[in-house]
Amino acid sequence: MDNTVYSLGQKVLKELDAVLAHIPSQTSERMCEEITRARRIACYGVGREGLMMKAFCMRLMHLGLDAHVVGDMTTPPIGEGDLLIVSAGPGKFSTVLALMEVAKLSGARSMVITAQPNGEAAQRADVTIHLPAQTMASDLLAPASVLPMGSLYEIAQLIFFDLISIMLREKLGQTAEQMRERHTNLE
């Protein structure tokens, strides 16, 4: 087996291609529709999925949307007209389910990004976005990804989210320059 960075990378790119090829166009359209009609957006995920959700939230802010990461001290309350976007790759996390309940009781909609469209979080969500990729919950099943544990799902999230950002930029009539102007200068 050739285990050079290049050969492993080629295998991973094929796996990512397969994930993206299995996402119907109506999935991305639905996601964009929900995001553009939301008054305010709150994003949440745990572990590495949480990092991808933070990256997505940053892109939403770059687009001029009122987007916040759950858990930040400056995150406003969620309510009517708002959208909670959560990640639950393996199907559920206790914190995700609890936050979805808060959103529901507050009159907000919830969207779950998951590899398990029949999981508990998806069943409770208003909108489910299915990313068909290996997570830590399925990494022992054949055929296993070249990448460890849930990395394929997490990397697919990052790419998918940036592609959604491009679609949103076009739908919102934004330019790359406008997005750049919203980038922090406090680095």
Structure tokens at 101: 């309940």
* Active site (annotated) includes residue 33: no
Contact yes or no for 100/92 (Cβ under 8 A): no
Does an H or E element contain 111, and which? strand 109-114
Q: From the candidates 120, 154, 177, 187, which is the catalytic residue?
A: 154
Q: Helix, strand, coil shares of the chain as percentages rounded to 5?
A: 50, 10, 40
- What's the Cα-to-Cα distance from 143 to each of 18, 90, 117, rounded to whole Å? 13, 17, 19
Which residues are annotated as catalytic?
154
